[in-house]
Chains A and B, each alone.
Chain A
Amino acid sequence: MKPTRGNQIFQAVLIVFMILLCIVMLYPFVHMLSISLSTPAESLRTGIHLYPREVSFYAWERVLSRSDIWIGFGNSVFRTVVGTICSIVFMSMGAYPLSRKYLPHRSFFTMLIVFTMFFSGGLIPTYFLIKNLGLIDTRLVYIIPGLISTFSMLILRNFFQAIPEEVEDSAKIDGANDLQILFRIIMPLSLPVLATLSLWSAVGHWNAWFDAVLYIQDPAKQVLTTFLRRVVITGEDVSIFSSDSQSAVLGYAEPIKAATLMFTALPIIVVYPFLQKYFVKGTMVGSLKG
């Protein structure tokens, strides 16, 4: 097709629109990074902040020298790594049997699981359950209740289902049982979708905050997001930084907030460009039928 004049104008308008859209998506993060590296006066300047005109690393120094931010960081890393691994193993264990057409009562088991996507006990009954299980104020509460995402597990099931049966049959002839088939053959064949689901799970864990607010009181078990909430959103504000040299800290309220925020956001920003394609691969919401 030869581009007509109308088409060219349309392309030009489209590109300008997309560039504006990209700026809208990206600018907020640049702004916060710039504020976090600003002096108090610069941080309060109204206008666009692409880079700090007066640079100060004071806010980052304050933030990085707090012990509780590192406790939160440690717990966040723990739940992200352990939680993701456990989730992937568990979801594979569920998805594989459900993907086998000869599994007895397969549609019944699938129904049992799909139902939970549309009906749940609600916040209060769940809270009591966690309490009765003794999971309050334990790190296990970060891992176990969120072990399975039904949605992800169904995506995985559909992926397993699409692997040709011959693969399984030939392994069975060689004497492999289902456990070996799953862990040695099916999972290695499913790496792209497992990578996508792992990333989703990892991001979910890194970002999670509500379970920590609900179930964790012990400061030693807090995660980074709850720390950030204390600094940025709830009333406690930056006063928790003011144990020493109060006046200096108070002037740096905005840079300290921004630095805490960027510290929490940075891991995602750093891995994003490299892992971006895996976030999207295998995203197709395969129909729930099957």
Chain B
Amino acid sequence: MNPVTSPESGGQAVTRKPSKLAKTWKEYKKCRYLFLLLTPVLIWYAIFAYAPLYGIQLAFKDFRIMEGIWNSPWVGFKHFEFLFFHSPDFFKILRNTVVISFYHIIFGFPAPIILALLINEIRFSKFKKITQSLTYLPHFFSWVILSGILLTLLSPSTGVVNYLIELVGLKPIYFLGDPNYFRFTLVTSAIWKEIGWGTIIYLAALSGISPDLYEAAVMDGANRWKQTLKITLPSILPVVVLMFILRTGGILDAGFDQILNLYSPATYEVADILDTYVYRVGLQNFQFSLTTAVGLFKNLIAFTLVLMTNYVAKKLGQEGLF
């Protein structure tokens, strides 16, 4: 935390030796306009990002509305004990969260990378641009809109998807109501929404690869596949790692917006996740303390995972976040 003296300060020329505090004060004063800009932003962070941390104590208390957060009695780890050892739901929702999120990572994470590699191979630049723009499109709509569309398209009786399925002679599938298919529907529709948008960062990385490398590879007789394997993939690896670290932090985010708009009591069994549980049980059934504990659990896991992947990435010689 060494504040660097700015070039125009001429700090060396001053002969008297100011105390450390006075020196800091001087530096702050010199940057007073910067702090004038920064202070409101820091206040916003204090209120909207740090003040909610104060409410986390609810996880260790029995919340009583009349007494408020501060005066409610402490109960230690009671809520966590209940969740881990007595709750009929907790392991179900934890399993759902992890399984759905795992599918999202296995299928959803590589999807834009593959699409980016394919788009990169297209030779007609105009066609390439149009493809890109069209694949971004669903990203810009909320899950409220997309869920409405899915409800129509996936309907087992009139939906066009089942029309096509029946056309090839298969039985119609109740994608949104059948627990066997619901997770598949979630993952596929999420890929549909985000695949195009996800390619942007990889395409940017791909366009940064020097053409010399490919020319040299061609000289050595490498075919397209070899080039992809030996040049393209290693070149975009740092970006892939960075995106993966960011993604692991969200491993317990299984898609709240999407699920809340798509699930129904028929599919709670396979699709009720930590976030939807917190919303339903916490804010609709007023079990504030219990669900704060669930939220805290989720946050701690996510935070630990980011630190861990970051550490591993660094150990493997990649650049991490911190």
Which residues on A sit within 8 Å (CB–CB) of B275? 123
Chain B contacts for A26, CB-based, 8 A: 134, 137
User: How far, in angstroms, from A145 to B48 measured CA to CA in the complex?
Assistant: 6
24 A-B pairs within 8 Å (CB atoms) are namely A21-B134, A22-B131, A25-B192, A25-B196, A97-B35, A98-B38, A112-B42, A116-B49, A123-B283, A125-B55, A147-B48, A148-B44, A148-B48, A179-B36, A179-B37, A207-B141, A214-B283, A232-B148, A232-B151, A273-B133, A283-B200, A284-B204, A288-B321, A289-B322
Instruction: For B296, give the chain A residue with the smallest CB separation.
Output: A122
How many A-B contacts if CB must be within 8 Å? 258
The answer to whether B160 and A31 touch across the interface, beta carbons within 8 angstroms, is: yes
Known: A100-B34, A268-B141, A280-B136. Contact between A285 and B44, CB under 8 A?
A: no
- Whether a CB of chain A sits under 8 angstroms from the CB of B149 is yes
Any B CB within 8 A of the CB of A77 = no
Task: Please report the C-alpha to C-alpha distance between residue A181 and residue B298 in the assembled complex, in whole angstroms.
Answer: 43
Known: A22-B134, A25-B134, A178-B37. A31 touches B152 (CB 8 A): yes
Min Cβ gap B238→A in Å is 9
B181 at the interface (CB under 8 A from A): no
Residues of A within 8 A of B201 (CB): 283-285
Measured between C-beta atoms, what is the minimum distance from A92 to chain B in Å? 8
| Surface stretch bound by B, among A46-54, A55-63, A64-72, A242-250 | A46-54
Q: Which of A104, A126, A178 has the most CB of B within 10 A?
A: A104
Closest residue on chain B to residue A26 by CB atoms: B134
Report if B123 contacts A (CB, 8 A).
yes
Complex Cα–Cα for A28 and B56 (A): 42
Taking chain A's interface residues, is the majority helix, strand, or loop, or is none over half, making it mixed?
Answer: helix
Cα distance A105–B135 when bound, in Å?
43
CB distance from A23 to the nearest CB of B (A): 9
Q: Are A108 and B55 in contact, CB atoms less than 8 angstroms apart?
A: no
Set of chain B residues within 8 Å of A125, measured between Cβ atoms: 52-56, 58, 292, 295
Contact call A97/B58, Cβ cutoff below 8 A: no
In the assembled complex, the Cα of A118 lies from the Cα of B251 at a distance in Å of 12
Complex contact B298–A122 (CB within 8 A): yes
What mask results when residues 211 to 252 of chain A are scored 1 for a CB within 8 Å of chain B, else 0? 000100000000001001100110000000000000000000
Asked if A102 and B6 sit within 8 Å, CB to CB, the answer is yes
Q: Whose C-beta in chain A lies nearest to the C-beta of B257?
A: A210
Q: Do the beta carbons of B1 and A108 come within 8 Å of each other?
A: yes
Nearest-Cβ distance from residue A239 to partner chain B, whole angstroms:
16
- Mark contacts of B182-223 with chain A using CB atoms, 8 A cut-off: 1 yes-contact digit, 0 otherwise: 000000000010001000110010000000000000100000
Closest to B203 in A: A280
One digit per residue, 1 when the CB lies within 8 angstroms of any chain A CB and 0 when it does not, for chain B 131-175 equals 101111110111011011101110001111001000000000000
Query: Known interface pairs A94-B37, A101-B4, A257-B152. Does A21 touch B302 (Cβ–Cβ under 8 Å)?
Result: no
Closest to B57 in A: A125
Q: What residues of chain A lie closer than 8 Å to B47, measured between beta carbons?
A: 129, 133
Q: Which residues of B contact A148 (CB under 8 A)?
A: 41, 44-45, 48
User: What residues of B have a CB within 8 angstroms of the CB of A285 in the complex?
Assistant: 201, 242
How far is B30's CA from A178's CA once the two chains are assembled, in angstroms? Answer: 11
B295, A97: Cβ atoms closer than 8 Å = no
Task: Judge if A264 is at the interface, Cβ distance under 8 Å.
Answer: yes
Check A170 for interface membership: any CB of B closer than 8 A: no
Q: Mark A259-290, 1 if CB is under 8 A from B, else 0.
A: 00100110010001100100110011101110
Contact B118 A17 (CB under 8 A): yes
Bound complex: CA A107 to CA B160 (Å): 54
Q: Which residue from B3, B45, B51, B138 sits with its C-beta under 8 Å from A104?
A: B3
Evaluate contact between B295 and A123: CB separation under 8 angstroms: yes
| A228–B145 CB distance below 8 A | yes
| A44 located at the interface, meaning its Cβ lies under 8 Å from any Cβ of chain B in the complex | yes
For B302, list chain A residues within 8 Å (CB): 118-119
